[in-house]
Structure 1
C-alpha cells in the first residue's frame, strides 16, 4: 500500500491537463479545456478538464474525477497502478507499506503479469545485445534488415535463445512464479507439468501498452522450415487484448497529435522502417484485421488516417472491404499503395527516406475514390458487376457522418462511375433512411428495458444507486446541501448576528438533527463532520481524491458544469442572472431549512397513516398531539424560510 505522504506528493505534482493531454486532444475554452470523449463515440466535444479544480468531467458518459480516476477508467488501472504511473511521470519515488502475502497476490495479479512481461523484455533485449548467439543470429538479422542501434534500443527489440528453457529457467531462478509465466504466454506447460519457452530461437518484438509498459510479444522465426510458423504472438491475457492494441502507438502518439495524421501499416518491421525514415506518427495493426477499438485509439489524437498498403491486389481488395468502419467513426482516410511487390519496409530500404516521403505525398488518395477506382477496374465492362460496385461505394459514403463531405464524394464518384449524381443521391438517401429506421427500432427496444431517468440528471443515477427509501426530491435536496459544503464550506460567514465561523462547520452544526437517507450523501456529511471534529476544514480535493467511488462521483458531479456563462452575457442580452453568492445567508439557510421542511413533511405523512390505522382512542390522542407539534415545527420553518429568502 502506498503511504499517504507519497500520495500527497504525487497529487501535488500532477498537472491534470498535461496527463489527460497525453490521451485526449484538448483545446482551451475559457478557464477550462475541452475535447472529444475517450469513453464514447461523439462528434461534439463534451469532455471537460478543469485545471483549477484538478478534475475532469465527461458529460456524454457521466464519468468524472481526478487524473488518477481518469487513468483507472481509461487504462483500467488499479488505484496503486495509476499512482505509480503518475509517480514515474513526475519522478517521484514511491514508498509502500507491506501487505499480507495473500492480499498482495490477489490485488496485484495484473501487476504481476506486467512485471514478468517487463522482465522478459529485458531478458530478450540483453540476449540480443550481450550473448554470442544473440549477436550472431538476432542482431545480424536486424542489421541485415537495415535497423539502426537507436531503433533496436528504442523499441527494445530482442532475441529468445534457441533453447527449450533458457528464459523460463532464468525467470524461475529470479523468483517469478510459474502461474504468471504461463498466464502471460511466455512459457508453456508440458503434460508432465514442467515449462518450456514459447519463443525459443526467434527475434522478439515487444508490444507496449498505451503507457509504455510491455504487455505482449511477437516472435519471428529465422528458420526456413515451412512447418514452423513465421510469427508466434502472445495469447490473450488479463493485460493483453490484441483488438485494443496498436503496435508502436506508445512511441507515436505525440507525433500523431503534432502532425494531425496517423500512418497505418501492417507489420512490426513496417513501423520500424518508417520511424527510422523520420516519420514517427506510424502504428501497425500487427497482422490482425483493424478493429473499432483500434480506430478509437487513433481518434483520440487525430481524425486523419493514411493507410500504407503493399502492392498485392488481392490483399488490397480484401482489406478495403473492411475499412468502412473508419468512415463510420468520422475519420478521414487516405490510401497509399506500393507497387512492384513493395511494402513500406522494403520501399524505404530500397529507395531511402527522402524518396519514401515524396512517394507518400504524391500517391495518397482519398479512400472513397481509391475504392471506387480499384473496384471499377475489377468490374471491367460487366454491367452487373458495375452495379454492385456502385452500390458498395454508396454504402461506404452512407457511413460518413458529415453530410457535406458525403455530398462532395457523391459528386466525385458520379464522374468516376459515369452515373448521374441524382441517382447516387437517391440511393444514398434510401440507405440513410433504412439505417435511421433500424437505429430507431433498436433504440425503442433498448428503452423498453431501461428505467426512466430524471431529465436533468441523465447519467449520475447510473453511477450512484438511489436508495429506495430516498425519494428523488429528497435526494436532490440532500445533494444541494453537499454542493454548498463543497463550494462554500471553507468561506467565512459575515451575516447579521453570525460571524467568526466558517460556513462548513456552521452547516454541520445546523444539520445535527437531520438524518440523511441517501447513503452517499450520508457518508459525505459524516466524513465532513469527522474532519471538522479533528480541527480540519476539508477542501474539495479531499473528496475528489477519496477512496470511495461514490464520494468521488458525487463530488465531481456537483463541481462540474457543462456550460459556462459568457462574461459578456449581460452586455449582450441585458438579462441579470441570479448569483447565489450575492445573498449567502439565504442560499445556505434556504438549503438547510428546505431539507428540514421536507423531512418534517415526511414525518407528518407517516403520522397521518398511523392516525388512520390507530386501534384505540388513547393511541389516537398521542399521535394527534405529536402531529400538532410537528405542524408547529413545520410552520416555524416555513416562517423562517419566508423571512430569510425575502430579506
Structure 2
C-alpha cells in the first residue's frame, strides 16, 4: 500500500489541473466579470446560477449551497472519493507521476483509488476493440452493420466503435498483459468471474465506448451481431461500477458538450447510431441515454451544460419514433419538463424514421430539417391526448376538454396558459370562454389522482431553492452588519499584496463574527498577507491552517466573490477599507467607554473618571483620523 502523497506533488497537481478546465467538464461556465466564471451548481438543483469559479485563485464556491474549495475538493465532491483518490485522479489526467512516503521515488499508485486504473482499463479495452473491428476476419458482420447504416471507417474511428472478440478470454489476456489485476478487471465491468475463472463480459458484439464529459471512457454499449449469441438482448451495457452510473451518463456528451454550450441547444435521441447520424449530418448537439429512459439526473447534466436558468432560455429537443412507444416517451418527457428552464421540443419524422434511417434514406439535410421542424413538446403531447377522443361528437369534445385542461394548467410557464387555452379552444372547435372556465376549474383541483389518465402519470414535483441549513447556531457572516469585516478579508484573500503588513495591525477585536475572526487568525498563522504565496497557494495555506474549524467553510467564498468595484482595486482602496474597519472598532470602544463614564461617579472615582475621559478624547481624535483616511481612499 502506498503511503502519503508528497506535499510538493499535491501542490503540482493543483498547479497543473486548471480548475476552470476541470469544472468546465461538468458545468458550462460563463464570464461573470472580475476574473470569475459562473454556472449552475452541480451539487444542488437551482434555477439561477450561483456557482462561481475563480481560475486565478484556483477556487470555486456556490453561494446557494455553500459548497466550495479548490480543484481537488471539487473532484472529491463530484466523484464522492477521498482526498488521496482525488489527487490521484487529477494526476492521471495531467500526466504527473506521484511520489509517496519520504523516499521521493516513484512507487505504484495507491490501491484505494480505483478510478484512474478503471479509466485506463477502459482506454486499453477501447483501443483493443477498435483494432479488431477492421483487423479481425470475425468482425465482418460488425463492419457490414456499420456499412449498411452509412458509417464508413472514418466515422467508426471518430466515435471509437470497435468489436469484441467471440473467444471469451482474449480481452482478459490482453488486460492482464498490460498489468491489470483480476480484481481491477472485475471492478471495471469489462470482465466477469465464472466457475472457470475470468471471462470477457462482451463477446462477438459491436462496441461503442461510453465517455464522460471530460472524454474518459467509463463503459461500453454492445450490439448483438450473431444469431447464436447466447445473450439474446440486442444491446448490452456495462454494469454499474465505481465510474459508470447509467442514470447520469449520456452517450456522445464528450463530443457534444461544447456545441451544446455554444449553440444553447441539446438534442436527445434514442440510440448510439442516431447520435452518430446526427453528428455526421451537422447536428452536433445530439446525445442519447445508455440503456435507460431519460431521467432527472440526465436532465441535470444537460441543464449544467446548457447553463439553463430562468434568465436564459435554450432548447432541449427530443426525437422519438412515430409509433405508440415514441408517443409514450414524449408524454414521459413532458412529465419531466419541469426540470428545465429551457424550452422543450419534440422532433418526429412523419414517416416514423429515426435519425439513422432518415440519414440513410434521405441524406444529411433531412436530419437537419427534422430538427428544424421541431414543435413544442406541450403541443405534441396535447394533440396526442386529443387523438383519444371522437371530436365529431359533443360528448367526445367535452371529455377531451376535461382531459386536456389538466395538461394546460400543468404548463411550467404560467404566462402561456391563456395562449394555450385559446389554442385548445381552436383544436376542439369550442368557445374560448367555455374552455377557459374548464381550465380554471382544473387548476382548482388539488389532487393529481382525480385527473383523467392520472393513473399512468407520475406527478411532477417542482423543486424550489431552499437556503442551506445554518452550520451552527451563529448569525451568517454575510449579514450587513459584518459587511466591512467580510470585504476586508476578501481583499486580504484575493489581493494580499495590497494590504501587506498593514493587515498585521488588525486583531480579533476588529472582527465581531467568530468565523471571520478565525479566518484572520489563520492568515496571521501562515505569515499574513505580506508573506502570501501567489495564486491559489495563499488560499490553500489559509484554509489548511484552519484545520477542521467550521469557519473554514467561508474561505472559498472569500476567495471567489467579486468586489463589486468595476475595476481592479489599488493600494489606496485597500487602505481605505482597513481604515473603515478600524473606525468601526474605534466606534465600539467609544460606545463602551461612554457607557462606563455614565456609570462612574466623577467625585468618588475622580482618577478613574479623568483617565477614561482622556482616553475618550484620544479615541475621538483617532476616529476622526481614520474617517479621513477612509474618505480619501474612497475618492
TM-score band, normalised by the shorter chain? 0.7 to 0.9
- Whether the aligned pair in 1 keeps the contact of 2:519 and 2:555 (CA below 8 Å) is no
- In structure 2, relative to structure 1, the CA distance for the partners of 1:474 and 1:346 (3 Å cut) is closer
Match of 2:282 in 1: 278
SS of the counterpart of 1:378? coil
Residue 537 (structure 1) shift: 3.1
- In structure 2, relative to structure 1, the CA distance for the partners of 1:355 and 1:480 (3 Å cut) is closer
Instruction: Determine whether 1:505 maps to 2:504.
Output: yes
Counterpart Cα distance in 1 of 2:389 and 2:488: 69
Counterpart Cα distance in 2 of 1:6 and 1:81: 12
Match of 2:96 in 1: 94
Aligned pair partner of 1:354 in 343, 346, 365: 365
Give the TM-score taking structure 1 as reference length.
0.73
- Whether the aligned pair in 1 keeps the contact of 2:132 and 2:163 (CA below 8 Å) is yes
Aligned pair partner of 2:223 in 216, 220, 232: 220
Counterpart Cα distance in 2 of 1:392 and 1:637: 80
- Whether the aligned pair in 1 keeps the contact of 2:88 and 2:116 (CA below 8 Å) is no
- In structure 2, relative to structure 1, the CA distance for the partners of 1:114 and 1:387 (3 Å cut) is farther
* Correspondences of 1:623-638 after superposition (within 5 Å): none
- Whether the aligned pair in 2 keeps the contact of 1:121 and 1:158 (CA below 8 Å) is yes
Q: Deviations over 1:252-310 (max 9, x none)?
A: 11122232222211011111122122221101123422101111222234431222222
Residue 137 (structure 1) shift: 3.5
* Correspondences of 1:157-176 after superposition (within 5 Å): 157-176=161-180
- Whether the aligned pair in 2 keeps the contact of 1:3 and 1:95 (CA below 8 Å) is no
Match of 1:414 in 2: 425
Match of 2:605 in 1: none
Give the TM-score taking structure 2 as reference length.
0.74
Counterpart Cα distance in 2 of 1:634 and 1:10: 53
- Whether the aligned pair in 2 keeps the contact of 1:187 and 1:195 (CA below 8 Å) is yes
Instruction: Determine whether 1:378 maps to 2:388.
Output: yes
- Whether the aligned pair in 2 keeps the contact of 1:479 and 1:521 (CA below 8 Å) is no
SS of the counterpart of 1:262? strand
- Whether the aligned pair in 2 keeps the contact of 1:68 and 1:82 (CA below 8 Å) is yes
Runs of 5+ unmatched residues, structure 1: 451-457, 494-500, 568-578, 605-629
Instruction: Determine whether 1:204 maps to 2:207.
Output: yes
- In structure 2, relative to structure 1, the CA distance for the partners of 1:431 and 1:285 (3 Å cut) is farther
- Whether the aligned pair in 2 keeps the contact of 1:490 and 1:539 (CA below 8 Å) is no
* Correspondences of 1:69-148 after superposition (within 5 Å): 69-74=73-78, 76=80, 93-98=95-100, 104-106=110-112, 108-134=113-139, 136-148=140-152
Instruction: Determine whether 1:289 maps to 2:285.
Output: no
SS of the counterpart of 1:348? helix
Counterpart Cα distance in 1 of 2:22 and 2:243: 25
- Whether the aligned pair in 2 keeps the contact of 1:65 and 1:552 (CA below 8 Å) is no
Residue 425 (structure 1) shift: 4.0
Runs of 5+ unmatched residues, structure 2: 307-313, 450-460, 597-607, 626-635
Aligned pair partner of 1:236 in 235, 240, 251: 240
SS of the counterpart of 2:332? coil
How many residue pairs match? The answer is 573
Residue 636 (structure 1) shift: 10
Counterpart Cα distance in 2 of 1:197 and 1:599: 78
Aligned pair partner of 1:541 in 529, 536, 553: 536
Residue 319 (structure 1) shift: 1.2
Match of 2:633 in 1: none
Aligned pair partner of 1:151 in 151, 155, 158: 155
Match of 2:526 in 1: 530
- In structure 2, relative to structure 1, the CA distance for the partners of 1:215 and 1:435 (3 Å cut) is farther
- Whether the aligned pair in 2 keeps the contact of 1:400 and 1:406 (CA below 8 Å) is yes
SS of the counterpart of 2:353? coil
Higher RCO (C-alpha under 8 Å, 6+ residues apart): 2
Q: Deviations over 1:434-477 (max 9, x none)?
A: 66999xxx99xx99xx9xxxxxxx54x65xx43x7x88899999
Match of 1:589 in 2: 582
Root-mean-square deviation (CA), in Å?
4.8
Counterpart Cα distance in 2 of 1:645 and 1:122: 72
